[in-house]
Chains A and B, each alone.
Chain A
Amino acid sequence: QLQLQESGPGLVKPSETLSLTCTVSGGSISSSSYYWGWIRQPPGKGLEWIGSIYYSGSTYYNPSLKSRVTISVDTSKNQFSLKLSSVTAADTAVYYCARDHTVTNFDYWGQGTLVTVSS
């Protein structure tokens, strides 16, 4: 059974960089059929797609966040990572990683991790 697990700091200071890693188990991140994505959800609000990456390193980003987002992949560790720079309180959210069917839908999700931006 495929499992995804987010990890990273739960508290980030304003203007700093948020960094999260998603570890995939029970399957290979190098599968040719899938992308791997990040989605976030501010407390009490809806879902926002951040971006997705293919195992080759090809990436797609939400244009509204593109200038601040970097998603990378480490196939040797079966992990992919998110970096979001220059964070503000508006970036406070639960961050999910998920398996992505070629940027069409997300069928396996991590449990999510709350990241709070505060000094």
Chain B
Amino acid sequence: DIQMTQSPSSVSASVGDRVTITCRASQGISSWLAWYQQKPGKAPKLLIYAASSLQSGVPSRFSGSGSGTDFTLTISSLQPEDFATYYCQQANSFPLVTFGPGTKVDIK
């Protein structure tokens, strides 16, 4: 099975900061990676698919990059509504989908 890890597990940041979250797969997954944002008590929201494609309606301050085993989600200028937990998800080992453990972004 492909294992997903994320770092850091949590990050404290201020409005306006640039935030980068890393996701690593235990084996190569090409670009079969998605990123989600989840706020407390809410369903996850798709931000990025295919490693770097921005989902419709998602602000351009979110970007994704990477391929193979190492991926990043970057928030270029953190906004108040961006404080949430972020999950990566791999889909290379069709049909088994696995999620990373999550990275919590909170207010410094």
**Contacts from A to B (Cβ < 8 Å):** 46-49, 52, 60, 62-63, 96, 98, 101, 103-107, 109-112
A104 close to B99 (CB less than 8 A): no
A106 close to B98 (CB less than 8 A): no
Q: How many A-B residue pairs have CB under 8 A?
A: 52
Chain B residues closer than 8 Å to A104, beta-carbon distance: 32, 34, 49, 91, 97
A68 to chain B, nearest CB (A): 16
Count chain A CB atoms within 10 A of each CB in B91, B94, B101 and give the residue with the most. Answer: B91
Q: Given that A46-B100, A47-B99, A49-B98 are contacting pairs, would A105 and B43 also be in contact in the complex, using a CB cutoff of 8 Å? A: no
Count chain B CB atoms within 10 A of each CB in A63, A104, A107, A109 and give the residue with the most. Answer: A104
Per the bound structure, the CA–CA distance linking A104 and B97 in Å amounts to 7
Q: List 22 A-B contacts (CB under 8 A).
A: A46-B99, A46-B101, A46-B102, A47-B87, A47-B99, A48-B99, A49-B96, A52-B95, A96-B44, A98-B43, A103-B91, A103-B95, A104-B32, A104-B49, A104-B91, A105-B34, A106-B34, A106-B44, A107-B49, A109-B43, A110-B43, A111-B43
Since A103-B94, A104-B32 are in contact, a sample of 6 more A-B pairs with Cβ atoms closer than 8 Å, ordered by chain A residue number, is: A49-B98, A49-B99, A96-B44, A104-B34, A105-B89, A107-B49
Which B residues, 36 to 71, have Cβ-Cβ distances below 8 Å to chain A?
36, 42-46, 49, 55
B70 to chain A, nearest CB (A): 19
**Contacts from B to A (Cβ < 8 Å):** 32, 34, 36, 42-46, 49, 55, 87, 89, 91, 94-102
A30 to chain B, nearest CB (A): 20
